[in-house]
A and B are shown apart, each in its own frame.
Chain A
């Protein structure tokens, strides 16, 4: 297997609903990635595209639509969907194609336009699509799943409403310093605690909305391109995990979960992160920057435990003691996280990897983690989808 490096990255800043075509957002990110890598379009040998599920035929063939904008060259174009870990899947495919020697240079990208209004059922067929049941009969929008787990956590470990609010305070401080972030207002703990409940115990400012955004990543094993690149970032491992039997988590879209655990919570993320540690020989103790999926304040806490940064039930103390801040041994979500961006499904995992790469390349300005050498991006997708990418410089 060959070493694979990130040489070019591009982000279209995160924003709210737009009438603009998703492929045009993607083109902005891809153009920036090409410029960053100092690369001609014709040098791209494969495109691994994230599917934009609300984009109909065009969204499901997003790679082809993107390719046609820059000029069709006949290369392999593969479109992939793994819920919120879609970007992890496209990065992993690009990495594997290069590491195996099939191609030298590949593009991974994703672009999502936020649907107008609420996320809801994508079909009307409850036989083929069991997700329809939770919408038609269950009364279960996504944050309810997080609230049910959060309540269990509060009961089990004593997590407080102040802990949940503190996550937002920290994320909003970092988000205010990030030009790519959609939400740049800084909040005090009182302001967060005064925001309305969406689903008790989670408040409006403690859950992330859906956003529009695009991200593109160019990876290569071409030695000449690597030597010419500005601070190339090595991908030490990029993995994906699915759930394990007996995982007690109530997964988004499901109506039931086991009551006697036989696997870790969020087992798909447990699996992806452990695979990455194994493959890279890098462990949580070596990591300087962690971008984790803070879809809600509950996620921020539980992911520190799932990925092995502390023992179960200890994340609240890490947070309260300032051990997750920029300047501490581990900086968690110096980007401002999903809390400051919102979810842009097919783009967000790539955006997380780019944030990590930017930290390692020393490009993060006011939110820069000084001397960052090792970074990890962790995703979370519904129904057992997760990816981990570990990078070094």
Chain B
């Protein structure tokens, strides 16, 4: 795993590395079985009692359900110290959780992208903040 010392997510409650693995922070409704991401973005099944929503971490790995390559910089407030365009965006499917999640693709040859390929959750360094911490976002990379 990456050296995660002195790294901080730009917005909290989305990506976690406290277990020693980088994983996305979700919540599961134990009444209707739906997983949410972001975890506060509830999308219950109609008629659900909405009882028993618990925080969970998604599996580390999933499959690429779709992707695109973005050729123009994402406008502010997005920011990275290094130029990242063109960058890939993947829609990664977590089969057990029945959810697909978007994320920037990093550390992967964009020409090798193929629907169905195995991807794992990681982080992307964005910039250094005033406290000299490395600010990061979640990302996906191909499993070698």
A residues touching B (Cβ–Cβ < 8 Å)?
117-118, 120-121, 124, 126, 130, 132-141, 144, 147-149, 151-152, 155, 196-202, 245-246, 250, 254-260
B11 partner, pick from A137, A144, A258, beta carbons under 8 A: A137
Give, as a whole number of angstroms, the nearest-CB distance from A334 to chain B. 30
**A to B contact number (C-beta, < 8 Å):** 127
Nearest chain A CB to B71 CB, angstrom units = 5
Q: Are B68 and A151 within 8 A (Cβ)?
A: yes
Asked if B46 contacts A245 (CB within 8 A), the reply is yes
Contact A200–B68 (Cβ < 8 Å): yes
What are 17 A-B contacts defined by CB distance under 8 Å?
A120-B77, A136-B10, A137-B126, A140-B74, A141-B72, A144-B70, A196-B71, A199-B69, A199-B71, A199-B89, A245-B44, A250-B66, A255-B38, A255-B41, A258-B100, A259-B93, A260-B98
CB distance from A16 to the nearest CB of B (A): 17
Q: A133 contacts B14, CB within 8 Å?
A: yes
In the complex, A148→B93 CA distance in Å? 13
- Bound: A133/B74 CA distance, A: 13
Known contacts A137-B138, A151-B115; A120/B66 CB under 8 A: no
How many B residues touch the partner, as a band? 35 or more
Given known A-B contacts A133-B11, A137-B11, A148 and B68 have beta carbons under 8 A apart: yes
B143 to chain A: closest CB distance in Å? 18
When chains A and B are docked, how far (Å) is the Cα of A148 from the Cα of B64?
11
Kindly report which residue of chain A lies nearest to residue B71, judged by CB atoms: A197
A133 touches B95 (CB 8 A): no
Distance between B86 CB and nearest chain A CB, rounded to angstroms = 8
| Chain A residues, Cβ within 8 Å of B115 | 151-152, 155
Residues of B within 8 A of A138 (CB): 102-104, 137
* Additional A-B contacts beyond A151-B68, A198-B72, A199-B89 (9; CB < 8 A): A120-B76, A132-B11, A139-B78, A197-B71, A245-B45, A250-B100, A254-B41, A256-B37, A259-B65
Is the Cβ of B89 less than 8 Å from the Cβ of A257? no
B68 to chain A, nearest CB (A): 4
| Cα distance, A117 to B138, chains bound together (Å) | 27
Whether, in the assembled complex, B99 has its beta carbon less than 8 Å from a beta carbon of chain A, the answer is yes
Contacting pair A200 B66 (CB below 8 A): no
Does B20 belong to the interface (CB within 8 Å)? no
Kindly list chain B residues whose C-beta atoms are within 8 Å of the C-beta of A256. 36-37, 41, 99-102
Cα–Cα, bound, A120→B74 (Å):
9
